[in-house]
Amino acid sequence: MFRPFEKTVLSTIALYAAILCGGVHACGDWSNNSWTVQLPTATTPIRNEFAASITGFSDDGAYSIGVIDNAGSITWNNRTTQVIIRDQIPYGGHLVLYSLIGTNADEILEGWAYCTGGALTSLFMETTGGISGFINSTISGTCNVKAEATSVNLKTSSECLRVTLPSKVPTIDGGNLLSLPHGEAGNVTLGTQEFNLIPFAIVDCTNCSDAGPSGGWIEIHTVLTSKASADVCLGIFYLYLACAGTVSVQYVQCFEGDATSRTFYAGYDLSDLIGSSIEGVNTSCEASSSFGTTNSDNISDALGRIVPVGQLVALATVLAFFMAS
């Protein structure tokens, strides 16, 4: 007979052996594995009042896009991801952005195609695996858009994805609305929805001094999984070194629903990430207001749902002004 302690050890060994030998095939144990993401097998139909067909190639042949009537694929380095267009975003003059989200067998992709008139000029994108931080690919191609209602749905390549936690991640304390403990998945409330917050990449922009009064920032790129539905989103959390006691989430894209950008009163700790390597920077920032107040519930959406990725510096400057006002 095995004693209770021996049974626990054997069970643990068996669990790890199953994972190592067979891989993670299902997300039925998600509650015990925070880094496993359950994707919907297919999205509900995404309806838009336009039908965009976007095709093009980068000069080096590493990137290509082929979308017909809001559905298609993006290929980079011989790796193809099925995508759908979620939104059409006019951005002054003749420039229009088309937001994309999709998945292959190993990762989630989000991106924005830049169209000026009938020409495709740029493709910004990142993935939860192979591309860390946004990649800007100069690309040549065409954008043909019809003013007609279109419904598309995305059948995911894999029902279950595993996200690798970055080796060093800041911690965040925003009370019940936003939290990211050390070494664990966090929580965030966007609108009326609660999400699990899973970091997959950290981008260090502490030396982006041209960001104006914000003094640079740290980005936490995350997968957000709804606690009430099968929806999965991607979003970026901005922690500003100016330490205004707020954290902003931007560039939120979802497979199905709409989760808006938001700013939270929250404290954060960057010491595990940047230590004392930046002279004069306080790596620990306290929240600028008491947690759980009415203001904390209602602040933001002031920056809108999304802006072009190429405008990060402008975004930082506007956000710093917003936080200082």
DSSP string, 230-288: S-EEEEEEEEETT--SEEEEEEEEESSS----EEEE-EEE-HHHHTT-STT--SEE--S
Amino acid 34: pLDDT: 63
- Model confidence over 254-267: pLDDT tens digits? 988 877 889 999 99
Percent pLDDT > 90 in the chain is 38
- Percent of all residues in the chain with a pLDDT value above 70, rounded to a whole number: 70
120 and 201 together in one domain = no
Clarify whether residues 130 and 171 are in a common domain. no
Tell me the residue range of the domain where 305 lies.
163-324
Instruction: Quick: pLDDT tens for 211-251.
Output: 555 668 899 999 999 988 888 999 999 998 887 788 999 98
Identify whether 34 is part of a domain. Answer: no
Q: Are residues 77 and 173 in the same domain?
A: no
Average pLDDT in the chain: 75
Q: Are residues 174 and 256 in the same domain?
A: yes
Note whether 199 and 307 are same-domain residues: yes
- pLDDT tens-digit series, residues 265-302: 999 998 887 764 444 455 677 776 433 322 223 223 22
Decide which of 152, 176, 195 is a domain's last residue. Answer: 152
Q: Is residue 205 part of a domain?
A: yes
| Predicted pLDDT at 72 | 96
**How many domains, in total, are found in the chain?**
2
Last residue of a domain, one of 126, 152, 178: 152
Q: What is the mean pLDDT of residues 102-116?
A: 91
Query: Does 237 share its domain with 292?
Result: yes
Buried-state track 280-310, b at ≥16 Cβ within 10 A, e below 16: ebebebebeeebeeeebeebeeebebbbbbe
| pLDDT at position 230 | 82
Residue 104 falls inside a structural domain:
yes
Q: What is the CATH number of the domain that holds 104?
A: 2.40.128
Do residues 189 and 127 both lie within one domain?
A: no
